[in-house]
Amino acid sequence: MTVKQDKNGKWLAQIDRQGIPRVRKSFPDRITAEKFEREYLARYATKINANADQRSLKELVELWFEYHGLNLSDGERRRVCLLDIATALKNPVASQFTAEQFVQYRAARLRAGLSQKTFNNHHGYLSSVFNKLRKLRVIDFDNPLSEVDFIKIQERQLSYLSRDQIDTLLDAIKTGCKNQSTWYVAQLCLRTGARWGEAEQLRFKQLHSGRVTFEFTKGKKTRTIPLDAWFYADLLRFCGYKNPDDRIFDNCIGAFRRAVARTDLDLPAGQCSHILRHSFASHFMMKGGNILSLQKILGHADISMTMRYAHLSPDHLQDAVKLNPIADAGSIPDDET
């Protein structure tokens, strides 16, 4: 509603919508002001509907993809996801889509078993369609989701593999995978924090001077990480004679998943290969690594992403031990043990 109380205690009805005359009028009480607003809008309802943007939600998704999405590394995946959302919403006229419709859709998807985190991702994708097209002046109406809060999710510690679990996994790969690329790609992920796809798609020119350079990353920035001398030499031996643009590895994610299935490792859903990246970052911090160095190695644009691993540092918030109010009390007396 556009009714609000002014500093003099009167209630102001202010209507400023495309296609109808603007009006601003004061009333002694809220009920009268709201009644005026309803009747005024009803009087011009036909004209409003005639002038409204009649493009469907799917049409806006396609425009978003054309003007912005195709430049994203995951743009096509987002486009498919957004079209699925539009279908589930029965492809409404975008300018008439409301926050209430979206909240009802959210409740239905969560009841059907979609995780809260995944829905928050979908919420962000759809909201960005309206925001981006509004910014580009493709649409002239506000984002209907601007006042809908994301679901608050309890933060949890990221899972990682212990050294024994890593050895178990590498042994399963070494002894059970006919595709030799699997072992080297897993090694690269554990040694550099690379995403599986970044390592699997490496070309020979990306190896140089004892280092590996990852290109076409999620953040669209290259990053170069040094490797152990013995592993780098072994990797070159595996490569054999290749041209600079030749791929080093065969596709091997399927072989990796089968190797995991042969172990007793219980990995979090959706983290089969990504657990290697989490394991690198977690062990890096537990061994005293610098959080800013870790940010550069992982290629995080936002330090808040890297801070998820900060608590694993040996000196994380150690001042709590020295500066708590009873830090000088010494050990617990014998009669209290």
| Contact status, residue 175 vs residue 244, Cβ threshold 8 Å | no
Whole-angstrom distance, CA of residue 235 vs CA of residue 199? 12
Whole-angstrom distance, CA of residue 12 vs CA of residue 10? 6
Residues pairing with 207 in the sheet:
212
Assess whether 274 carries a catalytic annotation: yes
Annotated catalytic residue, options 10, 218, 262, 308: 218
**The tokens 């036909």 sit on which residue?**
46
CB atoms inside a 10 Å sphere around CB 152: 8
Name 230's Cβ contacts closer than 8 Å, sequence gap at least 6.
none
Residues pairing with 11 in the sheet:
5, 27
Assess whether 309 carries a catalytic annotation: yes
Annotated catalytic residue, options 191, 195, 223, 278: 195
3-state secondary structure 266-318: CCCCCCCCHHHHHHHHHHHHHCCCCHHHHHHHHCCCCHHHHHHHHHHCCCCCC
Annotated catalytic residue, options 25, 30, 262, 274: 274
Whole-angstrom distance, CA of residue 191 vs CA of residue 230? 13
Annotated catalytic residue, options 123, 277, 278, 283: 277
**Best CA proximity match to 55, nearest among 102, 10, 92, 105:** 92
Strand order in the sheet with 23-27: 3-5, 11-15, 23-27
Q: Judging by DSSP bridges, how do beta strands 207-208 and 23-27 pair with one another?
A: unpaired
**Best CA proximity match to 142, nearest among 104, 99, 106, 105:** 99
DSSP letter for 334, please: G
Assess whether 203 carries a catalytic annotation: no
The two structure tokens encoding residue 249: 């590895």
Name 318's Cβ contacts closer than 8 Å, sequence gap at least 6.
none
Radius of gyration of the chain from its Cα atoms, rounded to whole angstroms = 28
Alpha helices by DSSP H, listed for 12-160, are 30-43, 45-51, 57-67, 75-88, 99-111, 116-135
Assess whether 195 carries a catalytic annotation: yes
Annotated catalytic residue, options 160, 184, 232, 309: 309
**What amino acid positions are annotated as catalytic residues?**
195, 218, 274, 277, 300, 309
